[in-house]
A and B are shown apart, each in its own frame.
Chain A
């Protein structure tokens, strides 16, 4: 059902590297979100966008940045990865009304 894609699925990198997590959706949704999830814990909103050229920080402070140049694309960038960034990152989108979220499969990031 969900047409939202995240790459890569898994990423292991060294401290200090710059990384970009990709997220694309083909449903034409205006609203897109990035969540961070640690094992056994709730999802935390780190960034969201209501449309092209609109981005806002979420509830959880994050050193990452996002961009929304095209409706379908919402990449997340870490300029200098640190071990504390190790987590699962989930991208989501929603249509008019925003009632139903569609999630990607996530990127599991490990920073050594």
Chain B
């Protein structure tokens, strides 16, 4: 069964600190892996998209890594800000159908305290 598992489920850090969120997947075949940020009560916003051949991608203070061999990804947030408080969702796309089916993780709820 294709799955996307994220850890931790929730995380609290102090403003200015770094953190790393994890995503493990069993989706096969694999097309790409995406990280989204979802503020409370809002729709997700894309942070990064990585294909099989990419092992790192940055978007400002957000850096995503991908190890396609071990089927693991991480999202590293540097110098956290209060506005980083949100749910971070890992999404994996397969290439086994014309739909390019997406598999969503349940997200990591990050809270940044002042």
Contacts and interface: CB of A to CB of B under 8 A. Distances in A.
Contacts of B89: 42-43
A74 interface: no
Contacts of A91: 43
Interface residues of B, number: 20
A100 B43 contact: no
B13 to A, nearest CB: 19
Q: Is the interface of A mostly helix, strand, loop or mixed?
A: loop
B93 to A, nearest CB: 8
Contact of A105 (B42, B104, B105, B107): B42
B49 A103 contact: no
A55 to B, nearest CB: 13
A106 B42 contact: yes
Contact of A92 (B32, B43, B105): B43
